[in-house]
Structure 1
């Protein structure tokens, strides 16, 4: 019987490859909104970041959210995502 490999994803901030359950997912929904998706189950285009603020900030600085999610993010969108991300980490 073949052993199933865990699904791997790459962090947008540090480019480290990890099991997707170790990373935080961000998703752009069909209506164009971008949200933190802690469950990893929302429909839409996704991107992953390590569960630390350094990787989040690196992804913002390198404009990787916009590239991965195919979305134009304004500064207020980034601030909202930052708050959602920090809140999710503390829960």
Structure 2
């Protein structure tokens, strides 16, 4: 029996490849709403972050999330994401 393939994703903050289950998915829906996706199943464009404040700060400072979603992200959304990340971790 072959071992099961583990899906790998790149963290938007630090750029490391990690198993998908270790990362947090950030989603932009078709309506343009940006939120955290705990299940990994929400429809929309996704970007992945490590569960650390450092990776979130790196992604925010270098505008990697905005580049991944190909749209500007308001400060209020960043504040909400940071709060949700703090509550999860």
Instruction: Give the TM-score band, short-chain normalised.
Output: over 0.9
Tell me which stretches of 4 or more aligned residues in structure 1 moved more than 3 Å. Answer: 1-4
Look up the match of 1:71.
71
Q: Would you say 1:12 and 2:12 are equivalent positions?
A: yes
> Counterparts of 1:17-28 in structure 2 under 5 Å?
17-28=17-28
Look up the match of 1:54.
54
Q: TM-score, normalised by structure 1?
A: 0.90
Look up the match of 1:88.
88
Q: CA RMSD in A?
A: 1.1
Tell me the SS of whatever aligns to 2:31: coil
5+ unaligned residues in a row in structure 1: which ranges?
none
Look up the match of 1:37.
37
Aligned equivalents of 1:78, 1:54: Cα separation in 2: 14
5+ unaligned residues in a row in structure 2: which ranges?
none
Tell me the SS of whatever aligns to 1:18: strand
Give the total of aligned pairs: 89
Tell me the SS of whatever aligns to 2:46: strand
